[in-house]
Structure 1
Amino acid sequence: MKAIVYSTKTFEKELLAKANLKKHDITLISNPLNIQTVSYAEGKDAVVVLSNDDLSAPVIDRLAKYGIKYISTRGAYVENINRRAAAKYGMKIARVPSSPEAVAEHVLTLVLALNRKLVKAVKRSSDFDFNLDGLTGFNLHGKTIGLIGYDCVGEYTAKIFNNLGCRVLVTDESLKADPQGAQLVDLDTLYQESDIISLHLPFKNNINYIINRESISKMKNGVMLINTSRGGLLDTSSVLEALKSGKLGYLGADVYENESGLLFENDPGSSFRDPILQELLQLPNVIITPHLASLTKESLEEIARQTIKNLDNWQAGKCVGKACACANDCATKH
Structure 2
Amino acid sequence: MKAIFYSTKEIEKPLLVKANKKKHEITFVADALNADTACKAAGNDAVVVFTNDEVMAPVIHKLAALGIKYIVTRSVGTDHIDKAAAEQHGIKVSNIPAYSPQAIAEHAVALAMALSRHLVLANHQCHQYNFSLNGLTGFNFYGKTVGLIGLGHIGAATATIFNGLGCKVLGYDVKPQNLDNVKMVSLETLYKVSDIISLHTPLTAETKHIINAAAIRKMKNGVMIINTSRGGLIKTSDALAGLKRKKIGYLGLDVYEFEKGLFFEDHEVDQVRDPLLSELMGHQNVLISPHQAFLTQEALQEIAAQTIKVLNRWARKS
TM-score (norm 1): 0.91
Q: In structure 2, what is the equivalent of residue 110 of structure 1?
A: 111
Alpha-carbon offset, residue 205 of structure 1: 7.5
Aligned pairs for 1:244-283 within 5 A = 244-283=244-283
Alpha-carbon offset, residue 146 of structure 1: 0.6
Alpha-carbon offset, residue 272 of structure 1: 3.5
Q: In structure 1, what is the equivalent of residue 173 of structure 2?
A: 172
Amino acid in structure 2 at the alignment position of 1:225:
I
Residue deviations 1:173-223 (CA, integer Å, cap 9, x gap)? 32265x212211111111111100011113468521111100100000000
Alpha-carbon offset, residue 157 of structure 1: 0.9
Aligned pairs for 1:27-176 within 5 A = 27-96=27-96, 97-175=98-176
Q: What SS is found at the alignment partner of 1:316?
A: helix
- Work out the CA distance in 2 between the residues paired with 1:306 and 1:98: 8
Residue deviations 1:208-263 (CA, integer Å, cap 9, x gap)? 11111001000000000011111111111100110111000011111111222221
- Work out the CA distance in 2 between the residues paired with 1:275 and 1:46: 37
Assess, with a 3 A threshold, how the Cα gap between structure 1 residues 229 and 98 changes in structure 2: closer, same or farther.
farther
Q: Does the CA-based 8 Å contact 2:211-2:234 persist in structure 1? A: yes
Runs of 4+ with deviation above 3 angstroms? 203-206
Instruction: Compare 214-223 and 156-165 and name the one that shifted more.
Output: 156-165
- Work out the CA distance in 1 between the residues paired with 2:77 and 2:18: 24
- Work out the CA distance in 1 between the residues paired with 2:107 and 2:154: 10
Q: Does the CA-based 8 Å contact 1:145-1:168 persist in structure 2? A: yes
Q: How many residues are paired up?
A: 317
Runs of 5+ consecutive residues of structure 2 not aligned to the other structure = none
Alpha-carbon offset, residue 30 of structure 1: 1.2
- Kindly indicate whether residue 274 of structure 2 is the aligned counterpart of residue 285 of structure 1: no
Alpha-carbon offset, residue 171 of structure 1: 1.4
Assess, with a 3 A threshold, how the Cα gap between structure 1 residues 226 and 176 changes in structure 2: closer, same or farther.
closer
Q: What SS is found at the alignment partner of 1:181?
A: coil
Amino acid in structure 2 at the alignment position of 1:106:
H
Runs of 5+ consecutive residues of structure 1 not aligned to the other structure = 319-334
Q: What SS is found at the alignment partner of 2:133?
A: coil
Q: Does the CA-based 8 Å contact 2:203-2:233 persist in structure 1? A: no
Amino acid in structure 2 at the alignment position of 1:228:
T
- Work out the CA distance in 2 between the residues paired with 1:176 and 1:264: 34
Alpha-carbon offset, residue 77 of structure 1: 2.9
Q: In structure 2, what is the equivalent of residue 7 of structure 1?
A: 7
Residue deviations 1:50-109 (CA, integer Å, cap 9, x gap)? 112122222111111111111111112322222222222111111123421111111110
Alpha-carbon offset, residue 151 of structure 1: 0.8
Q: What SS is found at the alignment partner of 1:146?
A: strand
Instruction: Compare 23-32 and 259-268 and name the one that shifted more.
Output: 259-268
- Work out the CA distance in 2 between the residues paired with 1:80 and 1:150: 21
Amino acid in structure 2 at the alignment position of 1:262:
L
- Work out the CA distance in 2 between the residues paired with 1:46 and 1:261: 23
- Work out the CA distance in 1 between the residues paired with 2:262 and 2:79: 14
Q: In structure 2, what is the equivalent of residue 315 of structure 1?
A: 315
Alpha-carbon offset, residue 117 of structure 1: 0.3
Q: Percent identity?
A: 52
Q: Does the CA-based 8 Å contact 1:47-1:68 persist in structure 2? A: yes
Assess, with a 3 A threshold, how the Cα gap between structure 1 residues 173 and 40 changes in structure 2: closer, same or farther.
closer
Q: In structure 2, what is the equivalent of residue 331 of structure 1?
A: none
Q: What SS is found at the alignment partner of 2:19?
A: helix
Q: What SS is found at the alignment partner of 2:11?
A: helix
Q: In structure 2, what is the equivalent of residue 323 of structure 1?
A: none
Q: In structure 2, what is the equivalent of residue 328 of structure 1?
A: none
Q: Does the CA-based 8 Å contact 1:255-1:289 persist in structure 2? A: yes
Q: Does the CA-based 8 Å contact 1:80-1:260 persist in structure 2? A: no
Q: In structure 1, what is the equivalent of residue 196 of structure 2?
A: 196
Q: Does the CA-based 8 Å contact 2:79-2:204 persist in structure 1? A: no
Q: Does the CA-based 8 Å contact 2:49-2:72 persist in structure 1? A: yes
Instruction: Compare 264-273 and 96-105 and name the one that shifted more.
Output: 264-273
Amino acid in structure 1 at the alignment position of 2:154:
V
